[in-house]
Amino acid sequence: MARDGAKRAVLIAGPTASGKTALAIARARQSGARIVNADSMQVYGVLDRLTARPNPDELARAHHEMFGHVDPSVRYSTGAWLADAHKQIQEADKENQELIFVGGTGLYFDALVSGFAQVPAIDPEFVAEAEKLIQERDEAGRMALLVERDPATARRLKVADPQRVVRALSVQMATGKTLSAFQDANGPGLLDDYALERIVLMPERGLLRRRIGERFAAMMEAGAVEEVEALLARDLDPSLPAMKAIGVGEITAMLAGKMDRDEAVEKAVIATRQYAKRQSTWFRNRFRDWTFVDPFAG
């Protein structure tokens, strides 16, 4: 229960494998808080282990919401996440329950705290067209294209992450209006009347790299291959976000005989480390007023 009637929420962000789940559960057990997922891959069903969702024992230790609640066939958006998060906030408020938002998706936290641009739903054909535009471009090339199409959004991005560049390009192509123009018309944040504790977990880089390698090896042993087989059996559109989860492509190639198990693991680990580096850069640049903590120090 929230003490002395105050509304409180804890926001726990950080790169993949930084210990967010353990901290969230520890804090929730102290306060009876409701843990709400803020990770764009952990929302999808089927990929339990491959997205490092809390396991059944962890889920049983605290009240968890919005983990695996979206079918992989769905293109789940930040707007959809925010609408679902709003329902959780309302439910927690009724129960006088503290909230813990935990995950690695910075855009979710931004929308939660600073408001969200009401961008219309974008037809998948525009997303596919944007993906083709950046397919052969490195980071510098993606940024150059974004500067040309949406210079304001380009200035806001410290890293030309493929997903965010595709988002900006597809919005511009579909609506004739830049993503930055929509963002400048943000609505209010959902936690404006809450006392917020904002934490970014940032382990030492070498330790984080090692944890990523160990964790992916454990995922493979715990059923990641079977999860990908189940996903492939559904014959889903390969452009869907769930199909682009790190490890899906590598394990798919392994199952097709295009690489062996060791190579699949190596490539997935490299991709995960690159993703963690992008996350870390994003958090350092955008969340400078948050409290940065090394959960494994000392």
In order of start, what are the domains of the chain with their CATH numbers? 3-117+190-203+284-293 (3.40.50.300), 124-183 (1.10.20.140), 205-279 (1.10.287.890)
Find tokens 């057990």 and name the residue.
Answer: 29
For residues 213 and 265, give the distance between their C-alpha atoms in angstroms, rounded to a whole number: 9
Any known ligand binding at 14? yes
Q: How much is the pLDDT for 5? A: 55
Q: What pLDDT score was predicted for residue 134?
A: 92
Residue 15 known to bind ligand: yes
Query: Is 18 annotated for ligand binding?
Result: yes
Place of tokens 């870390």: 280
Q: Quick one: which H or E segment has residue 64?
A: strand 63-65
Say if residues 53 and 67 touch (Cβ distance below 8 Å): yes
So what's the pLDDT on residue 156?
A: 80
Tell whether residue 272 is among the known ligand binding residues.
no
* pLDDT tens, residue order, the chain (298 aa): 444 556 999 999 999 999 999 999 999 999 999 999 999 999 999 999 999 999 999 999 999 999 999 999 999 988 899 999 999 999 999 999 999 999 999 999 999 998 876 777 788 889 899 999 998 899 899 999 999 999 998 888 777 888 889 989 999 999 998 988 877 766 678 998 899 999 999 999 999 999 999 999 999 999 999 999 999 999 999 989 999 999 999 999 999 999 999 999 999 999 999 999 999 999 999 899 999 999 999 6
Token pair 């350092």 is at which residue?
284
Burial of 152 (0-12, 13-18, 19+ CB in 10 A): middle
Q: What is the pTM of this model?
A: 0.80
